[in-house]
Structure 1
Amino acid sequence: MPSYTVTVATGSQWFAGTDDYIYLSLVGSAGCSEKHLLDKAFYNDFERGAVDSYDVTVDEELGEILLVKIEKRKYWLHDDWYLKYITLKTPYGDYIEFPCYRWITGEGEIVLRDGRAKLARDDQIHILKQHRRKELETRQKQYRWMEWNPGFPLSIDAKFHKDLPRDIQFDSEKGVDFVLNYSKAMENLFINCFMHMFQSSWNDFADFEKIFVKISNTISERVMNHWQEDLMFGYQFLNGCNPVLIQRCRKLPEKLPVTTEMVECSLERQLTLQEEVELNQVPGDKNPIFLPSDAKYDWLLAKIWVRSSDFHIHQTITHLLRTHLVSEVFGIAMYRQLPTVHPIFKLLVPHVRFTIAINTKAREQLICEYGLFDKANATGGGGHVQMVQRAMQELTYASLCFPEAIRARGMDSTEDIPYYFYRDDGLLVWEAIKKFTAEVIGIYYESDQVVEEDQELQDFLKDVYVYGMRDQKTSGFPKSIKTREKLSEYLTVVIFTASAQHAAVNFGQYDWCSWIPNAPPTMRAPPPMAKGVVTIEQIVQTLPDRGRSCWHLGAVWALSQFQENELFLGMYPEEHFIEKPVKEAMARFRKNLDTIVSVIAERNKKKKLPYYYLSPDRIPNSVAI
């Protein structure tokens, strides 16, 4: 009788092991085996991190093994199990890998295909076509679209993290509990927990150092020491945590009546203002234009107002909408329309890891009504919702294509605009990702026609457009793709947005926003309507009170932390792909990324303010915080 050697690998995360009964069946081209209980006498099977081997003898020839069925039945209490993979050594010396990387919950079962990526057209056997179809039918029931707020991209239909499919939940929900994290942050930052109970003002700028001095780092300390300087103010629009707004101004807006004389002290190259231009305000006595030549505190408060406005745009649009929510759209569409065996699913799944979960948790605790966002930010209480709704009207596919977005803002010239490290490093990472996606596409799509005829791929694109982008033609998101080149660009958008773009706008929050006067989350007095009246006391009274300052500081610290066991760009420990050509492409991808790390590290050696947010060794694979 034929005998197979079955190897079963259990995940190493918390609670991955199980004491339940595990049964295995083999489905071959010539027949199906009986269920076999995988059990070693006097041995505790399926422990966390374990790799267990079993001999399975069948009664008759099964032919080519097509599927492996795993069933879990209750031993005592329901005990979820995380299965990494199964390998099979056949009686004929063949070695077959069955990747899984999924949870089996309750008295559940999973049917696995071997790890070779296949397009739908490659499946000619009925049982494989049926498996493919059933998987998508099940997923489309689990991953449903929902409108969280009118005008938002649609999100997952789940009110709470615990309602999500088990496969996309965090391993430990405590790790992403915003309330616990903020409290922990304030403990770690040595913030007096008594202090944030009072909505009282600070006395002067030095007061802010009392909650800052013990936790300063290289960049944040430099911000504290130089935040009042115009050079530091301007530099942040190039390389701070919101480097996406600055654009080359070729014509002064009609509503901005600025003359050369007004800004003469800032025109260092002895050119006229018009010459520098080639560089929503209604003019009036009560809307003065504040200038560097004005009184010290007039100009300082004007800059503080700009920094506060920039903070809100950064949090709600640059960060929340354009990385978190967009990446969730890609993730939901992927799970709904691409089966596990599809090469694009295998390529993208590491880049949506925990994204739906973190967004669900944010809607549950952070950006919901009366959530933590309301405690610290002026745009809480619904303002952030309105900002996202308005920004959705301007969200385009082109604006997510990094090189195109840089060109559209006129910021692509390294000679005219030096020291724009966000641009320089971003282009390197974009090109590395695009080269990698093009290689993978070339392995599975031998022509443009194959791309066009891949219905599962086209359904994925349509789901993103119709549900994620709300069927808006102005978004420019493709409803279909007909060439390998365009598919490579699209997949690069997905991966770059989830990894590099999120890293660039998220992990610098503590660096640039922990010094409260440099990024006030709320302003408690309106802007001055006249010049020459601002005092230091007025500025301090305008800045956030003690309570909101502490909440803000805890927030930017918590949001700037990497996850435990973070997976960075190019790291793929879950081997969804088993084919040698793809593994070789991954190795080349990592080598290209390592080169970029070296280039950035060498440049940073000479910088007082190093820029490292787009160094690949600091770019997580997905939006997970």
Structure 2
Amino acid sequence: MIGNVVDNITGEKNGSKEKVRGTVVLMKKNVLDFNDFPASFLDNVHELVGKRVSLQLDVYLGNPDMVRCTMLGRDHLAWQANGLRGKVGEPAYLEDWITIRTPLAAGESAFDVNFDWDEEEIGVPGAFIITNNHHSEFYLKTVTLDDFPGQGRIHFVCNSWVYPAKHYKYDRTYLPSETPMPLRYYREQELVNLRGDGEGKLQEWDRVYDYAYYNDLGNPDKGEKYARPVLGGSAEYPYPRRGRTGRPPTKSDPNIEGQMPPLMSLAVYVPRDERFGHLKMSDFLAYALKAIVQFVKPALEAFDSTPNEFDTFEDVLKLFEGGFVLPGSSLLDDISKNIPFEMLKEILRSDGEKLFEFPMPQVIKEDKYAWRTDEEFAREMLAGVNPVIIRRLEEFPPTSKLDRELYGNQNSTISAKHIESNLDGLTVDEAIEKKKLFILDHHDPLMPQLRRINADTFTSTYASRTILFLKDDGTLKPLVIELSSPHPDGDQFGPVSKVYSPSEHGVEGSIWRLAKAYVGVNDSAVHHLISHWLHTHAVIEPFVIATNRQLSVLHPIHKLLLPHFRDTMFINAFARQTLVNAGGLLEATVFPAKYAMELSSVVYKNWVFSEQALPEDLKRRGIAVEDPNSPHGLRLLIEDYPYAVDGLEIWSAIKKWVEDYCFFYYKSDEMVRKDAELQSWWKELREEGHGDKKDEPWWPKMQTREELIESCTIIIWVASALHAAVNFGQYPYVGYMPNRPAISRRFMPEKGTPEYSELESDPDKAFFKTIPTLLQTVLMTVLMEILSRHSTDEEYLGQRNTPEWTFDRAPLQAFEEFGNKLTKIEERIVTMNKDTKLKNRVGPVKMPYTLLYRTSEGGLTGKGIPNSVSI
């Protein structure tokens, strides 16, 4: 129905007019932005001189019973045939702006508004026009008409920033859930406004969603050191698109977008409704990232002009037990001048002397040294922060898909004699046939980049392959690690490879521990740059842009997907400013250094949308096989695979919810095909948002309900559960750097060298000379803590920020069932984590797998599935 009619209430009469009472819920800018305290004062001044906030109702006149319409194929001509028309009412103004009538949750305020309505007219408000004549913007949440004559309660969900009217050449109009024909203009015009004209620099009040290449990562005006290639738009460097900002190019290179705004300004452009600002915690996260870059990193680098090493594991533990002292540093004074005190206490828990003291990472909370075991090393491939890479080994020895003409024979040098003594009596062929062998393979993605990385950065590392055996108790046993480096005479000669076997004692044990560290270095890079950044943050942004450009806010698929896009464009923009940019935090803390984003572009060449579905991913990796008699139609070959077990439950719950929702609005495949907005959305997404993949045959054609359901399920899965699985375990696992070092600074010691002698005499010292320095460790630990935190206003899977996001009963019932299902899944996860037979769920470190719990408290918890890629 037009609006959302709840009950019938008679309005207050005034002659031939009735007073229609309404309530507007919004958040003022000064509540949301602690850097703009003058906003409240100036808004009050505008209010006093008559520059107020007004609303006008656009009422659809005629028989209210006829006010029914959708964009899904129903007859729109009936409106004109019945002589129906729209009428825009007189302005009504928000009351008591200065005194604020009702304080609500978390900075929200409710204001009265009273409209005059002619009692002889019959109609239903189909839209309202809002005009903000104040100095500052505000966040408009909802507008409710409490007693519209003959209709009762009508509710508009807005969730949008409203800037002062002087910034716009058009009215801001809000429509309810369905669009009568006379209001179609508003719907179509809103999409035109959101698309923009593709020209000029975009300002903070703009609402334009447009596409651009990743041409803002480097700044060649600062010198060759800061030059980076354009990602996207070429066969060499394909990439998903980002949001356009329109900044002018650099002086040195017209293809590179000009410098980002100053770090502490928070002024990087994204459409205003995509910005953080719902609560201070969200802005804190953004400021915290920038504080590291602008103050912490330079000060530590100055202090660390000669690399400081950890000598023992006890030295690392001091970061969590007593704090790290930075002698003679003025860092605290420098930061405190630029960051509010409360924020400073959160970023750097400091007493003025012990500058850095971090929470204890879960991986060492119960046992300080269990992370060193082979069992834990393997378990984290199934239940750690990067559980999406391991695959079944289907041929032996492992082979390479790299071009032999360019890279020679890159097949593995691992032989049967390296592993057969550890296969519990099986031959290699028997182990493969019984599906007992698995591999963590980081060889092919890294080898083509490795020569440049080792020659031109602080890194000295290898490409790795790790083969594992599935034991009868469900755990994995590492069998062998192969480390490969480029041939000194050229790539065409293939790699130089060496194979290492497990050992616990003596120098062989120290070498095996280093081999596992090199694997951790590889896996950390793949996790940060590919599993996390590329496969969640980067690939989702085009969906955000296309949805806002092509699907009206009234469209059911827009309503379905909107919660799963919250804050994604904003956090991605900050990442390009502080994390993945030239000289950013990831280049300083992850081994590919300045080639990091190039590596992710290489891997994007193999990205397939349909394989982002969890069942397809598990089948592709050989981890699961189809089995109609098994739950979810799949049988896991590693039954105790926490990420897959929990993930399949959540995947199925998401798909059932999406299916129920889509079946309600789309009664046939024909309705999908004839939905013009939907078809434009999918076309633009393929041809523009993921334009470098537009000719791939694997894209769903979007001709059936099943294709729509599968596509939306993938989008929601990637934005919510997949991101949670690879993000919120970062501090619990990576916060203790020796468990997952992201950098190796020297190669494996060879016999007869001083490094080898040191490894024999002081293995811990040799280990710490190989992995990150103190500076790199502190930077990574601070970064991991920030990125692993939940904001206090987080919305979790199965939750919405307003219960009245639709008034269609069937979708609301399905959504409630979805939430209940997720609650039951979490309860089952808790039960499984207590089952001692499921050894991979807790492991030697006594750390239960909680990353796919549905909900969480705010802060650093290691659990919870937010709706979106919001940090």
Same-fold status (TM-score > 0.5)? yes
- In structure 2, relative to structure 1, the CA distance for the partners of 1:196 and 1:507 (3 Å cut) is farther
- In structure 2, relative to structure 1, the CA distance for the partners of 1:38 and 1:13 (3 Å cut) is closer
The residue number in structure 2 matching 1:287 is 497
Match of 2:289 among 150, 167, 179: 179
Question: CA offsets per residue over residues 547-577 of structure 1, 9 Å max, x none?
Answer: 1111111111111111121111111023432
The residue number in structure 1 matching 2:809 is 580
1:5 aligns with 2:21: yes
- In structure 2, relative to structure 1, the CA distance for the partners of 1:29 and 1:320 (3 Å cut) is same
Equivalent residue runs for 1:492-507 within 5 Å? 492-507=713-728
Equivalent residue runs for 1:37-436 within 5 Å? 37-40=93-96, 43-44=99-100, 48-59=107-118, 61=121, 63-74=123-134, 78-88=135-145, 89-107=147-165, 109-114=171-176, 116=177, 118=178, 123=179, 125=181, 127-141=182-196, 142-148=208-214, 149-150=230-231, 151-158=238-245, 162=267, 163-171=269-277, 172=280, 173-180=283-290, 182=292, 199-213=307-321, 215-221=359-365, 224-252=368-396, 253-254=398-399, 255-267=411-423, 269-278=424-433, 279=437, 280=443, 281=484, 287-293=497-503, 295-381=508-594, 383-412=595-624, 416-436=637-657
C-alpha distance in structure 2 between counterparts of 1:474 and 1:72, whole Å: 45
Offset at residue 344 of structure 1 (A):
0.8
- In structure 2, relative to structure 1, the CA distance for the partners of 1:310 and 1:407 (3 Å cut) is same
CA contact under 8 A between 1:28 and 1:62: conserved in structure 2?
A: no
CA contact under 8 A between 2:289 and 2:783: conserved in structure 1?
A: no
Look at both structures and tell me which one has the larger radius of gyration over its CA atoms: 2
Corresponding residue SS for 1:177: helix
User: Which structure exhibits the higher relative contact order, with contacts defined as CA atoms closer than 8 Å and separated by 6 or more residues?
Assistant: 1
C-alpha distance in structure 2 between counterparts of 1:230 and 1:42, whole Å: 64
Range with greater deviation from structure 2 (609-618 or 257-266): 257-266
Unaligned runs of 5+ in 1: none
CA contact under 8 A between 1:224 and 1:515: conserved in structure 2?
A: no
1:613 aligns with 2:851: yes
The residue number in structure 2 matching 1:564 is 792
C-alpha distance in structure 2 between counterparts of 1:461 and 1:612, whole Å: 35
Report the aligned-residue RMSD. 2.9
Unaligned runs of 5+ in 2: 1-15, 33-39, 62-86, 197-207, 215-229, 232-237, 246-259, 323-358, 400-410, 438-442, 444-483, 488-492, 626-634, 836-841, 856-863
Corresponding residue SS for 2:514: helix
Question: CA offsets per residue over residues 204-240 of structure 1, 9 Å max, x none?
Answer: 3332222244632443435741232211111111111
Offset at residue 417 of structure 1 (A):
1.2
CA contact under 8 A between 2:521 and 2:591: conserved in structure 1?
A: no
CA contact under 8 A between 2:92 and 2:114: conserved in structure 1?
A: no
Offset at residue 328 of structure 1 (A):
1.2
One-letter code aligned to 2:192: E
One-letter code aligned to 1:36: A
C-alpha distance in structure 2 between counterparts of 1:482 and 1:558, whole Å: 42
Corresponding residue SS for 1:6: strand
CA contact under 8 A between 2:546 and 2:684: conserved in structure 1?
A: yes
C-alpha distance in structure 2 between counterparts of 1:58 and 1:544, whole Å: 70
The residue number in structure 1 matching 2:59 is 28
C-alpha distance in structure 2 between counterparts of 1:609 and 1:476, whole Å: 43
C-alpha distance in structure 1 between counterparts of 2:510 and 2:186, whole Å: 69
- In structure 2, relative to structure 1, the CA distance for the partners of 1:6 and 1:22 (3 Å cut) is same
C-alpha distance in structure 2 between counterparts of 1:594 and 1:62, whole Å: 45
Offset at residue 112 of structure 1 (A):
1.3
- In structure 2, relative to structure 1, the CA distance for the partners of 1:415 and 1:27 (3 Å cut) is closer
CA contact under 8 A between 1:451 and 1:482: conserved in structure 2?
A: yes
C-alpha distance in structure 1 between counterparts of 2:696 and 2:726, whole Å: 22
C-alpha distance in structure 2 between counterparts of 1:531 and 1:256, whole Å: 27
Range with greater deviation from structure 2 (291-300 or 507-516): 291-300
Corresponding residue SS for 1:54: strand
Range with greater deviation from structure 2 (2-11 or 308-317): 2-11
One-letter code aligned to 2:130: I
With the length of structure 2 as denominator, give the TM-score of the two structures: 0.66
Range with greater deviation from structure 2 (500-509 or 297-306): 297-306
Offset at residue 508 of structure 1 (A):
0.7
C-alpha distance in structure 2 between counterparts of 1:445 and 1:143, whole Å: 27
Corresponding residue SS for 2:796: coil
One-letter code aligned to 2:285: G
One-letter code aligned to 1:240: G
CA contact under 8 A between 2:100 and 2:110: conserved in structure 1?
A: no
- In structure 2, relative to structure 1, the CA distance for the partners of 1:529 and 1:396 (3 Å cut) is farther
C-alpha distance in structure 1 between counterparts of 2:395 and 2:650, whole Å: 32
C-alpha distance in structure 2 between counterparts of 1:63 and 1:182, whole Å: 57
Offset at residue 457 of structure 1 (A):
1.0
C-alpha distance in structure 2 between counterparts of 1:104 and 1:357, whole Å: 18
Offset at residue 510 of structure 1 (A):
1.1
Corresponding residue SS for 1:100: strand
C-alpha distance in structure 1 between counterparts of 2:724 and 2:89, whole Å: 49
CA contact under 8 A between 2:362 and 2:733: conserved in structure 1?
A: no
Offset at residue 93 of structure 1 (A):
4.1
- In structure 2, relative to structure 1, the CA distance for the partners of 1:347 and 1:2 (3 Å cut) is farther
C-alpha distance in structure 2 between counterparts of 1:334 and 1:55, whole Å: 34
Corresponding residue SS for 1:250: coil
C-alpha distance in structure 1 between counterparts of 2:818 and 2:303, whole Å: 49
C-alpha distance in structure 1 between counterparts of 2:93 and 2:418, whole Å: 83
Corresponding residue SS for 2:529: helix
The residue number in structure 2 matching 1:456 is 677
C-alpha distance in structure 2 between counterparts of 1:185 and 1:590, whole Å: 43
Corresponding residue SS for 1:262: helix
Equivalent residue runs for 1:479-518 within 5 Å? 480-518=701-739
One-letter code aligned to 1:238: L
> How many correspondences in the alignment?
610
Equivalent residue runs for 1:530-549 within 5 Å? 533=756, 534-535=759-760, 536=763, 537-549=765-777
CA contact under 8 A between 1:458 and 1:480: conserved in structure 2?
A: no
Corresponding residue SS for 1:287: strand
One-letter code aligned to 1:111: T
C-alpha distance in structure 1 between counterparts of 2:620 and 2:695, whole Å: 16
